[in-house]
Structure 1
Amino acid sequence: MTTTVLIADDHPLFRQALALAVGRVLPQARVVEAGTLAAAARAAADTAGLELILLDLKMPGAVGYSGIALLHAECPEVPILVVSSADGVAAEEEVRSFGAVGFLRKDSDLDRIEGAIQRAIRHHGQAMARPPSTTPEAQVRDTVAGLTPTELKVLLAVLEGKLNKQIAHALGITEATVKSHMTAIMRKLDVSNRTQAALVARSLGIDLRH
């Protein structure tokens, strides 16, 4: 079966650079590209034989680490390698806590990118082991990371200030279904209203811009 790699980044030239690196490491690979988080989520859900996702944190539709959480929920056994301009060791620790297998800065040279791709592809088919939840914040982060794809989409829409009617239209579901998902989200996060749910998500870096 042909290896398929999803490259999710809103800059076409950088997608081309990553595709070049993929081609050098996996010459027979088929590359699927996405320029928004919504397109990446659709590709992750619909692409058969997907074996690796290369993801930028900062792209249309993504806030903070939400892209990792959403794509990991869609494809829990597909390794996600974050290639981003985010700074610091903290970013590397955070991406792993939301389900990524590694982090690489965009200004890394081609050899380093190729090496990271080689290491990441070895994780295919394995459930990503997150760091132990040793603090209350880490435990709540695990809960956020464990939301279903639709629950994450609803939570992201709440962060954007959308009403239930708008969320229902955007996701192609009924308002009653949105309310049901919101109830499940609040129960899992142990909060009593959508404002508190949004505050929890922001406190975990879901709403941080990189």
Structure 2
Amino acid sequence: MDTILIADDHPLFRQALILAVARVAPRARILEAGTLAAAARAAGEAQGLRLILLDLKMPGAVGYSGIALLHAEKPEVPILVVSSAEGAKAAEETRALGAVGFLPKDSDLATIEAAIARALTGKPLSAPLTPEDPIQREVASLTPTQLKVLLAVLEGKLNKQIAHDLAISEATVKTHMTAIMRKLDVQNRTQAALVARSLGLDLKH
């Protein structure tokens, strides 16, 4: 059975998306997540996941980090962003980081249904973007755990705190940081955080 994940922290909007999904794919199994951590966990465990509907403004998400994390978790699953983030830049950034499309939250139900139907066929809503910035490409290539470590660094957490939060050893955190710094071509944690910020991973919408 096909599974569709709806990741949004607003219960009423989740219900609206559930209605849209039910009309487009009535046999699909629908999973709900109200935080980025729950969404990542659900994506990792779900069988037959065909589509992720994602809000950018979720607890645990900063800027475009939700797309980067879920795309790294399940790179083969299309991500359709439905968000209140505004502007053409938001749409471009979401697509560059791996989303198949971007819809404003004030889109009518018919538009959302059409976008869901198209995403389920594997076709992007518009021409996919390849990150032009080589650093952006490297961020998009980070593993889920590496992204979690980088986001924790953005929050100012120390290795010991990160290790506790991710249930890994401090040595493993250091290994991930080494890999992150190598991929981003930086020399230390501060520079890695600056690069991530410059790409909008902690951009507040």
Identify which of 189, 193, 196 aligns with 1:198. Answer: 193
Q: Deviation at 1:123?
A: 1.3
Is the CA contact 2:96–2:131 (under 8 Å) kept in the aligned structure 1?
no
- Cα deviation, 1:77-129, whole Å, max 9, x if unaligned, reads 100000000001111110000000000000000000000001111118x9xx9
- Cα deviation, 1:22-52, whole Å, max 9, x if unaligned, reads 0000010110000000000000100010000
Letter in 2 for 1:117: I
Identify which of 169, 172, 176 aligns with 1:177. Answer: 172
Q: Deviation at 1:140?
A: 0.6
TM-score (norm 1): 0.94
**Aligned match of 2:83:** 84
**Aligned match of 1:187:** 182
SS in 2 for 1:99: coil
Runs of 5+ consecutive residues of structure 2 not aligned to the other structure: none
Letter in 2 for 1:47: A
TM-score (norm 2): 0.96
Letter in 2 for 1:193: N
- 1:80, 1:38 → 2: CA distance? 16
SS in 2 for 1:209: coil
Give the count of matched residue pairs. 203
- 1:70, 1:123 → 2: CA distance? 20
Q: Deviation at 1:185?
A: 0.2
Is the CA contact 1:98–1:130 (under 8 Å) kept in the aligned structure 2?
no
- 1:101, 1:52 → 2: CA distance? 10
Q: Is the aligned partner of 1:162 residue 2:157?
A: yes
Q: CA RMSD in A?
A: 1.3
SS in 2 for 1:6: strand
Q: Aligned in 2, Cα 1:34/1:195: closer, same or farther, shift over 3 Å?
A: same
Q: Aligned in 2, Cα 1:117/1:204: closer, same or farther, shift over 3 Å?
A: same
Letter in 2 for 1:170: D
**Aligned match of 1:23:** 22
Report matched runs for 1:146-161 at 5 Å. 146-161=141-156
Report matched runs for 1:1-210 at 5 Å. 2-123=1-122, 131-134=129-132, 138-210=133-205
SS in 1 for 2:156: coil
SS in 1 for 2:168: coil
- 1:204, 1:140 → 2: CA distance? 8
Is the CA contact 2:100–2:128 (under 8 Å) kept in the aligned structure 1?
no
Runs of 5+ consecutive residues of structure 1 not aligned to the other structure: none
Q: Deviation at 1:130?
A: 5.2
SS in 2 for 1:119: helix
- 2:201, 2:90 → 1: CA distance? 12
Q: Deviation at 1:139?
A: 1.2
Letter in 2 for 1:13: L
- Cα deviation, 1:147-186, whole Å, max 9, x if unaligned, reads 0000000000000111101100000000000000000000
